[in-house]
Amino acid sequence: MGRLFLFYRLMIRPLLKEPVRAALTIFAVTLGVAVVLAMDLAGNAATGSFRASMETLAGDNDLEIVASGGVPEAIVGSLATLPYYIRISPRMEDSAVLADSNQTLPLIGLDLVAEANADGGGRALVTSSDKTFETNEDTIRQLQKADSIWVGASLGKKLGDRVRLLINDQVREFTVRGVYPDSNGSESAVVMDLATAQRALNRFGSVDRILLNVPEPPALDEWEQRVRAILPTGVEVRAQGTGTIENRRMLAAFRWNLQLLSYIALIVGAFLIYNTISVSVVRRRPETGIVRALGASRNAVLVAFLGEAAFFGVTGALFGLPMGRLMASGAVKLMAATVESLYVSSRPGAIALSAWSVALAFVIGVGVAVVSAYSPAREASLVSPVEAMARGRREYNTRVHKSRDLLLALVLAIAAAGASRAPAMQGKPVFGYLAAILLVAASALAVPAFTDAILSQSSRWLGKVLGVEALLGSQSLSASLRRTSVLVGALSTAIAMMVSVGIMVGSFRETVLIWMNDRLPADLYLRPAGAPAPDRHPTVSLELADKISKLPGVAGIDRLRAYEISLDGMPATLASVDLSAFRRDNQSSFLSGRPTAQVLAEIRDSKAVLVSEPFTYKHHVRAGDSITFSLGAARPSFRIADIYYDYGSERGTILMDRQTMLRYLPDPTPSNLAIYLMPGTSLEAARNEILQASSGYRVLLASNRDLRAEAIRIFDRTFAITYALEAVAVIVAVMGVAGALLALVIDRRREIGLLRFLGASAGQVHKQILVEAGLLGLLANFAGLALGFALSLVLIFVINKQSFGWTIRFHWPVAVLLGAISVVYAATVLSGLYPAQVAVGLNPLEAVHEG
Amino acid sequence: MAIVSFEKVSKDYLTDGQRVHALDDITLEIERGEFVALMGRSGCGKSTLLNLAGAMDFPTSGNVVLDGVTTSALKDAGLTCLRREKVGFIFQSFQLLHTLTVFENVELPLLLAGKPKARDAARERLDWVELDGLGDRYPHQLSGGQMQRVGIARALVQSPAILLADEPTGNLDTITGNVILGLLKRLTRELNTATIMATHSAEAGALADAVVRLRDGKIGEIGRR
C-alpha cells in the first residue's frame, strides 16, 4: 500500500499539475482504443456474426440440399421415399421489396401445410426457438389463397393488411394472414406458401433449397452419405448453414484489412506515449537520482515509469470503451452497406460489448502504452544517482544514434522489399502486412537523421527569411532531436497512412473508371427495381425483354443472367451474356490483351468460359485450366478461355454464353438487359419509349453515364470507413504534436523567459512556437509523403492483390493528396496555438531565476 | 536627472496565500555613469529591486521612473520597447543560449529588435570585452569567465542606459570574478551607463561608486564615494 501511495505521489500527482498535457495524452490513447474496439465490434456484427438473409427462419435443421439454378422438385418425393423419419423442408428463397418503403426483405416460400402437419397437425410449427407459427384450421384455409403472406412483427403490419410487394419486375398485392414474432427486428421476412412463392417468382418445377432435420444416431456424415446416394448429379447435400460459413470466409479478408487499418491510430498513439514517457524521464532525472540514492532499485524505477504509462493506458481504455461502442454504431452501418454492395445481402448482427471486448480494450490500451514506454523507462532505470543529481547539468540531451539508426532503417527497408515479394499465406497477405510494418519501423529509425539534416542545413536560412524567431525555433527543435524525431515520426506515420490509402483508393478509382469504359458498352441498362446486391438476381419478364427488343431505335439487347453458385467452398457468381445478339464491344479488358471479338468467339456456344480476376485468385486457376461445378442436373467441366478484369464484385464470376447456360439451366428470363440503340437515336427519346413499354413493370432504366455515376458513388461509400480511420489517426497525431509542443514550452521556460529579458515581445515568442509547429508539420509531411508512397506500392501491388485479386493501375491523385496534406499541415500549425499562448503567459522572472 | 529613480516604492508578493513584503518604501536615485552595488543577505530584496529597475516587474506602490518614463504607465508592448532601448541584463548563471554561437548570442537582442548591422555591433562589443576571435565558438566551448564576458557583451549590444547585473561573479572563481568586476567598472565609466549590481562580494562593494545596503526590504544605508 505504501508503494502505491508513493507511486501516486511521485508519478501520478505531478501529472495533475499539467492537466492539459495529461488530457491530450489520455485522449490519444482513448481514440486509439476506441477505433480498434469499434472496428472489432462492427466487424463482428457486420461480417462475423451476420447471418445471410436467407437463413431467416431456417430453424434447427441439419442438412441442406442445393443445386445451381434450383433443386428439382422431384427430389422432395425421392427423399420422402427414404425409409427414415426425417423432416423435409423445401424452400423458395429470394427477395421482395416493400413497394411503399423500398425496404428489401427476404422472401421465403415454405410448404406450410407440411410444416404444420409434421407433428400430427394442429400443433405449433416451431421454426426456431423464438419463432412460432400458431396453426389452426383457419390458417390452413388461408394458406390456399394465392395472396396470403406472413410477416415479421417488426414490420408493424396486422392481420388483414394489404401489402404491395415488388418481386422481380412486378408489383403484386398480398394480404397479411399472420404476424410472427421476429427477434430484435432484424430478421423480418415475407413468408408465403411454397406454391404461392413459385407463382410469384415465376419459377416452377424446382425449389431453391431443401432443408433436412435428421435424427441421431447415426452421425451427420452418415446421413450425408445416405442422402447423397439418391441425389442426381449436380445436386449437392451439405451441412445446413454452409452458405453462411462460406460467406463469412469470403468476408474475412475485408474484415481483416479494416481491422488492421484500425491499428494505425494505435501505432500513432504508441509514438506519443513513448514521447510522453521520454519527457517524463528527462524531467525527473534529479528526482530519479534522489530516489535511487535513498535506496530504490533499478527495477523500482523501471516499474514506476511503466506504471505511469499503464496509468495512461488504463485511463485511455476506460474512456475508449464507451467511445468505441458509440463509434461501432456508425461503423457497422458503413461496413454493412459495403458488405451488401460488394459481397452478400445480409443484416448485420447486434453489436455485442462482451467481456472479451472489454478485455481487448484494456489489453490494447495498457499493452501499447507499456510496450511504447519500455525503452525510455529502461533508460531511466539505468540513471546513476550521481549523474542525475549533478548540479549545473540543467539540460540532458539524450544521445541519438543517427548513423546507427539510419543503417538499421536501410536493413529494414530491404527486408520490407523482400517480404513484399512473398506469396500470400492461406489467402492472407501476411508478408504484405509485415512489409508495411517494416517500412514504418524503417521510417521511424530514419527520421532522426532526416530531421537533423534538414534542420541543421536550413536553420540559418530560415532565420534570414522568416526572422530570428524561425532561427531560434528550428535550433530549439534541433537541440531536442530525440523528442522532435518522435513527434515527426508519429505525425509522419499518420500522414503516410493517409497518403498511401489515398493513392491506393485514387488508383483504384481511376482503374475502375477506365474499366467501366470497356465494361459498359451499351447505351442503356435495365434491371428490376429494388436495391441491388451481388447475390441477388431478380429477373426481368421475358415479355418485357421481347417488347423492348422490338422497339424502333433499339438495335439489339443483351440478355444477361446470373446465378449464385458454390465452388470449392466459396460463393461465386455464374453469369451469361448473349453472344448471338447485337453487341458493341470496346477495347479488350482481358488479361491476355487479346481483342474482345476474338475472346468472345472462343466461348460462343461452347464449353469454354471466362472467369474474373478475383475468381482466379480465390480458386488458384489460370487461363487454359479446367473447372468443374454442378450446373442443373449435371456436373460439367469448362475450359477457362481467358480472364477479365472485374471490379464490380469480389465474389468471383464465371461468364459463359447464354446458349451454353440454357443447355443446363433452361430458364430464359434475364436478370438485366443491356440495350444498344441505333446510331442517331436520341437517348432521351429511347428512354421514354422504353419506360412506356415497361409500364406495368417495376424496372430501373439507367443510361451508361448514370450507371457509371452510381458505381462510383458506391465505390466512394465503400471507402468511407477507411477515410474515417485515417482521419482518426491524423487527429491523434496532431493532438500529440500539441501535447508535445506544450511539454517543450514548459521545459524551455528558462530560455523563453530569457528571451523576454533580452527584448523579445509576446508576439515574437508566439511566432517562435508557431514556427516550431510549422517546421514539425513540414518535416512530417515530407517524411510522410515518402513513406506513404512506399506503403501505397505495398497496398496496391501486394496487400490488395493478395486479398482480393484485383489488379490496380498506379495513379497519383494529386489534387486530393495536396488538399489532404494542406489540411493536416494547417491543423499542425494550429495545434501550436495553445502552447504558444502558454509560452507567452510564462512569467520570465520565475523562469529565469528558477533552480 | 537620474537615469533611474525609485519613488517610495514598495513591492509585495503573494506566495501560496502568504503576503511577502519584498521591498518597503524605497526611495533611491541613480545617475548615469554610476556603478552601484546592492548588498544584503539573501531575501533582502536585491533581485526584486533589479527587476523593478529593468521594467520586468511593477511596484505594488510608488513609481519607478526609467530615463524619464514611469514604468507602471506602460503596457506590455511599451515595456518591451523600453527594455530593448534602455536596459541590459547580466545574470549569475550567464544565461546563454547553448544552440547559438557567441556572435549569435551577442547579436540576439538586436535581431529581436529588428535592427540592422547586428553582426558588426556584436563584433564591436566582443572587442570591448576582449573576446574578439571567439565569435564562432559555442558556449560549452568557453570558460566561465569567457561566458560572462559574452553575457556582458550581449547586455551592452543595444548601448543601454542602465546595466543590471544579478550576482555576475557568483559562479566564478575570485580571480576571474575580479576581472569581470574590473571590466564592468571600466565599461560603466567609458560608456556612461549606470550599472546596478546585486552582489555578496566585498570586492564588488569596494569597487562601487555607491553601496546600497538593503535589510528586510528597506534601505539600511547608502554609502557614496
Q: pLDDT band for position A121 (50/70/90)? A: very low
Contact A806, A800 (CB under 8 A): yes
C-beta atoms of A757 and B76 within 8 A: no
Q: pLDDT band for position A124 (50/70/90)? A: very low
C-beta atoms of B76 and A849 within 8 A: no
Check CB contact of A630 with chain B, cutoff 8 Å.
no
Most B CBs within 10 Å, among A758, A761, A766, A767, to test the B interface = A758
Chain B residues with CB-CB distance to A761 below 8 A: 76-77, 80, 112
Check CB contact of B76 with chain A, cutoff 8 Å.
yes
Question: What percent of chain A shows pLDDT beyond 70?
Answer: 90
Of residues A46 and A716, the one with the higher pLDDT is A716
Signed CA dihedral, A408, A413, A419, A421: sign only: negative
Residues of chain B falling short of pLDDT 70: none
Check CB contact of B125 with chain A, cutoff 8 Å.
no
Distance from CA of B54 to the nearest CA of A (A): 9
Q: What is the pLDDT of residue A833?
A: 92
Q: pLDDT band for position A398 (50/70/90)? A: low
Check CB contact of B158 with chain A, cutoff 8 Å.
yes
Contact B109, B128 (CB under 8 A): no
Q: What is the pLDDT of residue A661?
A: 93
pLDDT tens per residue across span A14-73: 788 788 888 888 888 898 889 888 888 888 887 765 555 666 666 678 899 988 888 988
Label the pairing between strands A63-66 and A71-72: unpaired
d(C-alpha A261, C-alpha A795), whole Å: 11
What is the rounded end-to-end Cα distance, in angstroms, of chain B? Answer: 19
Strand spans (E) along A99-204: 104-110, 125-128, 131-133, 148-152, 162-167, 170-180, 190-193
Of residues A279 and A785, the one with the higher pLDDT is A785
> B182: Cβ–Cβ under 8 A, 6 or more apart, which residues?
B207
pLDDT tens per residue across span A254-284: 777 778 777 877 788 888 888 888 878 877 7
| pLDDT value at A347 more than 80 | no
Contact A317, A31 (CB under 8 A): no
| pLDDT value at A131 more than 60 | no
Contact A332, A48 (CB under 8 A): no
C-beta atoms of B56 and A757 within 8 A: yes
Which residue of chain A is at minimal alpha-carbon distance from B54?
A: A757
Chain A residues with CB-CB distance to B77 below 8 A: 761-762
- What the block records as the C-alpha cell of B72 is 507602471
Minimal Cβ distance to B77: which of A467, A750, A761: A761
Q: What is the pLDDT of residue A137?
A: 65
Q: What is the pLDDT of residue A836?
A: 92
Check CB contact of A787 with chain B, cutoff 8 Å.
no
Minimal Cβ distance to B80: which of A751, A759, A849: A759
Chain A residues with CB-CB distance to B57 below 8 A: 845
Distances (CA, A) of A568 to A239, A241, A331, A621: 15, 16, 31, 12
Task: State the Cα angle at A108 between A104 and A110, rounded to 5°.
Answer: 165
Q: What is the pLDDT of residue B109?
A: 87
Check CB contact of B14 with chain A, cutoff 8 Å.
no
Q: What is the pLDDT of residue A269?
A: 80
Q: In whole angstroms, what separates CA A10 from the centre of its chain? A: 44
Check CB contact of B100 with chain A, cutoff 8 Å.
yes
| Residues A447-469, mean pLDDT to the nearest whole number | 90
Contact A788, A505 (CB under 8 A): no
pLDDT tens per residue across span A808-829: 999 999 998 899 899 989 999 9
Q: pLDDT band for position A297 (50/70/90)? A: confident
pTM above 0.95, yes or no: no
Amino acid at A316: G
- The 3-class SS string of A709-766 reads HHHHHHHHHHCHHHHHHHHHHHHHHHHHHHHHHHHHHHHCHHHHHHHHHCCCCHHHHH
Q: What is the pLDDT of residue A279?
A: 79
Most A CBs within 10 Å, among B50, B94, B95, to test the A interface = B95
Contact A785, B116 (CB under 8 A): no
Question: What percent of chain A shows pLDDT beyond 90?
Answer: 31
Minimal Cβ distance to A475: which of B76, B89, B100: B100
Q: What is the pLDDT of residue A265?
A: 76
Ranges A385-394, A611-620, A647-656, B161-170: which has the least confidence: A385-394
d(C-alpha A337, C-alpha A725), whole Å: 17
Q: Which of residues 421-460 of A touch B (CB under 8 A)?
A: none
Minimal Cβ distance to B80: which of A754, A761, A848: A761
Ranges A59-63, A241-245, A370-374: which has the least confidence: A241-245
Ranges A135-139, A426-430, A467-471, A634-638: which has the least confidence: A135-139
Minimal Cβ distance to B76: which of A471, A479, A762: A762
Q: What is the pLDDT of residue A56?
A: 63
Q: pLDDT band for position A730 (50/70/90)? A: confident
Place of cell 509531411: A781
| Residues A400-409, mean pLDDT to the nearest whole number | 87
Q: Count Cβ neighbours within 10 Å for each residue of A260-283 and write b for 16 or more, e otherwise.
A: bbbbbbbbbbbbbbbbbbbbbbbe
Q: pLDDT band for position A711 (50/70/90)? A: confident
Helix (H) or strand (E) holding A201: helix A194-201
pLDDT tens per residue across span A506-533: 999 999 888 887 778 889 999 988 777 7
For helices A704-718 and A298-342, what crossing angle results, to 10°? 160
Check CB contact of B112 with chain A, cutoff 8 Å.
yes
Chain A residues with CB-CB distance to B109 below 8 A: 758-759
Q: pLDDT band for position A546 (50/70/90)? A: very high
Distance from CA of B115 to the nearest CA of A (A): 11
Q: What is the pLDDT of residue A434?
A: 93
Minimal Cβ distance to A479: which of B76, B99, B111: B99
| Residues A832-836, mean pLDDT to the nearest whole number | 91
Place of cell 415479355: A543
- What the block records as the C-alpha cell of A74 is 422431384
Check CB contact of A750 with chain B, cutoff 8 Å.
yes
Check CB contact of A845 with chain B, cutoff 8 Å.
yes
C-beta atoms of B99 and A848 within 8 A: no
Q: What does pLDDT average to over chain B?
A: 89
Q: pLDDT band for position A132 (50/70/90)? A: very low
- What the block records as the C-alpha cell of A580 is 448471338
Which residue of chain B is at minimal alpha-carbon distance from A475?
A: B99
Ranges A522-526, A536-540, A635-639: which has the least confidence: A536-540
Place of cell 412486378: A170
d(C-alpha A33, C-alpha A617), whole Å: 34
What's the complex ipTM? Answer: 0.80
pLDDT tens per residue across span A162-202: 999 999 888 999 999 888 877 654 467 898 989 899 999 88
Contact B147, B180 (CB under 8 A): no
Helix (H) or strand (E) holding A525: strand A524-528
Q: pLDDT band for position A722 (50/70/90)? A: confident
Q: What is the pLDDT of residue A55?
A: 67
Chain B residues with CB-CB distance to A762 below 8 A: 76-77, 80
Q: pLDDT band for position A83 (50/70/90)? A: confident
Backbone dihedral region of A389: left (phi > 0), alpha (psi from -120 to 50 degrees) or beta?
Answer: alpha
| Residues A751-765, mean pLDDT to the nearest whole number | 90
C-beta atoms of A759 and B158 within 8 A: yes
Q: What is the pLDDT of residue A120?
A: 39
C-beta atoms of B112 and A755 within 8 A: yes
Check CB contact of A848 with chain B, cutoff 8 Å.
yes
Side-chain half-sphere exposure of B32, counting CA atoms within 13 A: 12
Q: pLDDT band for position A122 (50/70/90)? A: very low
| Residues A339-360, mean pLDDT to the nearest whole number | 79
Which residue of chain A is at minimal alpha-carbon distance from B171?
A: A392
Q: What does pLDDT average to over chain A?
A: 84
- What the block records as the C-alpha cell of A425 is 499465406
| pLDDT value at A125 more than 60 | no
Q: What is the pLDDT of residue A393?
A: 40
Which residue of chain A is at minimal alpha-carbon distance from B164?
A: A757
Chain B residues with CB-CB distance to A764 below 8 A: 112
Short-list A344, A80, A73, CA closest to A235: A73
